Structure formats: C-alpha cells, structure tokens
Amino acid sequence: MPELPEVETVRRSLARHIAGREIMAVRVFLPRLVKWPESDLFCARLTGRTIREIDRTGKYLRLRLDDAAEFIVHLKMTGELMFSADGSSEGMGFVRAEVRFRDGAALFFGDARTLGALYALRPEELPRLASMMAMGPEPLTEAFCPAYLYEIARGHRAKLKSFLLNQKYIGGLGNIYADEALFRARLRPGRPASSLSRAETERLHEAINEVIREGIDDGGTTIRNYRDGEGHVGLHQDKLRVYQRTGAPCPVCGTPIKRVVIGGRGTHYCPKCQK
C-alpha cells in the first residue's frame, strides 16, 4: 500500500517524463473515482493544459498545471500511476483513467480495488481537500523534530499506532512504516501516545526518520501491487522486521512476532523487545 516512500518514488519516477508535456485528452472509465469536480468537467479542466511539475503532500501527488490548477491523485491501497512513452497500456491491469499527451505518450491510472481518488482543483478549491491541507509535518523535515513529537504525543491518549497513522499529526506514515518504526523504537503499539517519555519520543523520532529514509532509498515496499511510475517494484519488502511476519522470529531476540488489531489495522510487534 503506497505510503510516503512509495508515493515519493512514484513522484520521482514520473517527474522527468511528464513535466512539460501537454495534455491532449483525458478519459475516465470509473467516474466515481473522480471526487471533484464532476468527471466530465474534471476531464475538461485537464485537457489542453501543460504539466509544470509534480509535487507531493503526504500521500497526495500534486501535478501542477500551467493555469495554476492542480491534478491531484491519492493512490490509497492499490492505485498506480504509470507513464507510457508510446501510449500503450499493455501489461497494466485495472486501468481506471488515462491522460494522453500531445506527443503520443500517456499516463495511466490503474486501481484494482478502486479506492483511489482523483481531483482537478483550482487554488481557491484546495480547502475541499481538508486532509491534504491539514497535513502534519513530514518525516525528514525540520518541522518534524523530537520536541514537536513529544509535545503532540503528550496531548493524545489514543494508542500509539493510531496516533502515528493520523495524517494531521505526522504526514505520510501508513501501516507498514508505522509498525516498523515502533519496532525500531522498541515501543508497544498499544501504549497511549501520551505515555511516552522524552527519551522515548526521541527514539521514535529517529526510528520514523530511519524507516522512511530507507524506504525511499529502496524505492518503496512491494508486497503485492506496488510499482513506481516506470513499472519498477520496490526493494524494501525483504528488510521488514515485523510487518506481516506474524509468528516469525524477532530479528533481535527470536521471540515470535505477534499480530493484534488496533484501530482496525493489522499491527505487528515483538512482545519481548517492545515495551
């Protein structure tokens, strides 16, 4: 499932291909994935525009257009954006929308489980995407510092795992990297966020930055579907220490990894190492 490292890898892999390209036609095959405006108007807004650059806010991809509007994509669970130089979608399953460029190239949006979300927003409409506008500080930025993490965690009694997944506190963490960060910080996912000491939040801060940095360096984690904008799989899946390793020995102490459900999410941890 695309989280910050995967979405960032998609962004980088697409940037060199789509920046400067002019959109000739847009087709949507599953209109309910277009959240704003209505699907026909969405297509009309993109047609004739040139993509200036591609940015990212948390897990949102933002393709900035020459008229100051943005084509925004959230991949959710199984979304993919794939560039094709010759305009062919061959080998790509579940194509839900296509963007065709003047020079014959194309950008395809694929999504097996159809939870993805597409937008074409003018600057004054950005508040419609409340969660994007309220995105918390992202790992590996100056704003995401140990003092911030300590202060914000202190004020929340929710379980640590749920706290980490809330995008308004930290931008871009998802289920995989949250579990991996808690393992490295040796913290139990079920603890209240407010129970963390200053030393523990420092460990957690470092662990979050570490797993996100390594995830990006590895081009993301491919468990089933994930591919970048050029079709490459990630390399980080072989380095996961707890995620989806239920019953397997903890890489530190050998104790079998436990799985529980927190906030409706599968949560994996070492019952001995994590306190």
Partner DNA sequence: AGCACTTCCTGATAGC
Partner DNA sequence: TGCTATCAGGAAGTGC
Q: Binding residues for DNA, per CB under 7 A?
A: 1, 3, 32, 58-60, 74, 76-77, 93-94, 112-115, 129-131, 155-159, 162, 165, 167, 174-176, 224, 263-266
Query: Which one, 101 or 108, has the nearer CB to DNA?
Result: 108
Phi, psi values for residue 269, rounded to 5°: -160, 165
Query: Which one, 4 or 14, has the nearer CB to DNA?
Result: 4
Give the Cβ contact number of residue 204 at 10 Å.
24
Query: Which one, 21 or 268, has the nearer CB to DNA?
Result: 268
β-sheet with 79-84: strand ranges across: 23-28, 95-101, 106-111, 79-84
d(CA 2, CA 210): 17
Q: What is the DSSP letter of 22?
A: B
Smallest separation (angstroms) from DNA to the CB of 220: 13
Q: Is-contact 124 93, C-beta < 8 A?
A: no
Smallest separation (angstroms) from DNA to the CB of 35: 8
d(CA 56, CA 50): 18
d(CA 78, CA 224): 9
In order of 2, 73, 107, the CA distances from 232 in angstroms are 14, 19, 15
Strands (E) across the chain are located at 23-28, 34-36, 51-57, 60-65, 70-74, 79-84, 95-101, 106-111, 117-121, 258-262, 265-269
Smallest separation (angstroms) from DNA to the CB of 58: 6
Query: Which one, 115 or 140, has the nearer CB to DNA?
Result: 115
Smallest separation (angstroms) from DNA to the CB of 28: 15
Query: Which one, 15 or 223, has the nearer CB to DNA?
Result: 223
Smallest separation (angstroms) from DNA to the CB of 104: 29
Q: How many CA atoms lie within 13 A of 147 on its CB side?
A: 2
Active-site residue set:
2-3, 59, 265
